[in-house]
Amino acid sequence: MSNNVMVHQTNSSVMHTYQRLPLTIVKGKGSYVWDQDGNEFLDYSSGIATCNLGHVPDSVHQKLREQLDNLWHCSNLYEIPTQNKLAALLTENSCFEQVFFCNSGAEANEAAIKFAKKYAKDRGYSERTEIVTFHQSFHGRTGSTMAATAQEKIHQGFTPLTPGFRYLTLNDDGALEAVNNGTTAAVLLELVQGEGGVNTVEQKWIKELSDRCKAADILLMVDEVQTGSGRTGTLFAYEQFGIEPDIMTLAKGLGSGFPIGAMLAKKSCASTFSPGTHGSTFGGNPLATTAGIATLEILLKENFLENVKVNSNWLRNQLKTLQANGEAIVNVKGMGFLIGVELKAEAGSFINAFREKGILVLSAGPHVLRILPPLTTTKEELTQFIEVFQAVLAEMKETTV
């Protein structure tokens, strides 16, 4: 957790890999969570862009209860009907034709990294041993995905890193020229860098990158772990950029909080993964895919995503008004309900102030508040958030005078 955020460390048997906030959440429903003392919080962190339908959505809850009575786990050596149904829903509503299921975003990106290496070998490109990623990216914390993440703070203490990654700068024209240096097998990027500051790729730039990759038979792989499942106002963010990637990775919001990840591939390259090349014990199990089906069925309902666009545009405009009326906000960034508010001050003090007033938000770097409402949030809740933000800004102004 970033600078000046009040944290709490327990002397428990759980390894201390997280700087936990002084809050114990025991219940959630819709846009709200409650702590062990019964205090209510408007959750605009959504489990880090995971509870896209809010906490414990009724339709997902009901279908999971039904599945719990029938079958929890089945080996991938057998057909799994819910897996087939979820794969069909994903491919019918995207530019991809085949899906590999796993358990998390890092695993989905690991699959994409393996896929890219094998694709190059299958195509006879023995010299193509690198995957290009971008500064301020975040792709996971496994060995390979940590190396793919171009942030030095993530690498500290873990060198030597897994080789085979080359870092360029997002939205930089020089990066376009440098992508195809003869050793590049694939390009992996986020269309909105969630952890790295809520930085959005430029439309013209990503279109040029896509064209260059296509011309050189370099795989274009988009990490939509955080932007997928409706978060940006379309089912997948790539739909808003006029491109068709070769590979897409998903997790987080796909299962409404139930662990699931997926890597989707276009038919032109999907045969790269054949029996024995990759696998996952729990990937695509009946419980996870049931959660995924129930989630997608809600996201695909008529006007659902249109309402996300309307409400997120309203929120962004309100935040820009706050920016215009003061000096504390430098910029309002992002897409849909993945919003970054860049501040002059450090974000940690704002996170504490919001929590004290009953709202949970996150950071994306030392000076960026990351606001991730559930896609089901109401206008009344959004108004409450803006009113609290106004109060926080006023308090911050008083303390600096």
What pLDDT digit, counting tens, does each position of 203-234 carry? Answer: 999 999 999 999 999 999 999 999 999 999 99
Question: What mean pLDDT is reported for the chain?
Answer: 95
Helical residues (DSSP H) of 229-357, grouped into ranges: 267-270, 286-299, 304-324, 347-356
Residue that the structure tokens 């989707």 belong to: 264
Please say whether the dihedral angle defined by the alpha carbons of residues 117, 222, 267 and 219, taken in this order, is positive or negative.
negative
**Rounded (to 5) percent helix, strand, coil in the chain:** 40, 20, 40
- Which CATH entry fits the domain spanning 1-43+338-372: 3.40.1010.10, 3.30.565.10, 3.90.1150.10, 3.10.20.600? 3.90.1150.10
Q: Where are the beta strands (DSSP E) in 13-95?
A: 25-29, 32-35, 40-43
Q: Percent of the chain at pLDDT above 70? A: 97
Contacts 24+ apart (CB under 8 A), 384-388: 384/42, 384/359, 385/42, 385/44, 385/315, 385/359, 386/315, 386/318, 386/319, 386/322, 388/354, 388/357, 388/358, 388/359
pLDDT in tens, the chain (401 residues): 445 565 555 668 899 988 888 899 999 999 999 999 999 999 999 999 999 999 999 999 999 999 999 999 999 999 999 999 999 999 999 999 999 999 999 999 999 999 999 999 999 999 999 999 999 999 999 999 999 999 999 999 999 999 999 999 999 999 999 999 999 999 999 999 999 999 999 999 999 999 999 999 999 999 999 999 999 999 999 999 999 999 999 999 999 999 999 999 999 999 999 999 999 999 999 999 999 999 999 999 999 999 999 999 999 999 999 999 999 999 999 999 999 999 999 999 999 999 999 999 999 999 999 999 999 999 999 999 999 999 999 998 877 64
What fold is seen in the domain 58-299? Aspartate Aminotransferase; domain 2 (3.40.640)
Q: Where are the domains of the chain?
A: 1-43+338-372, 58-299
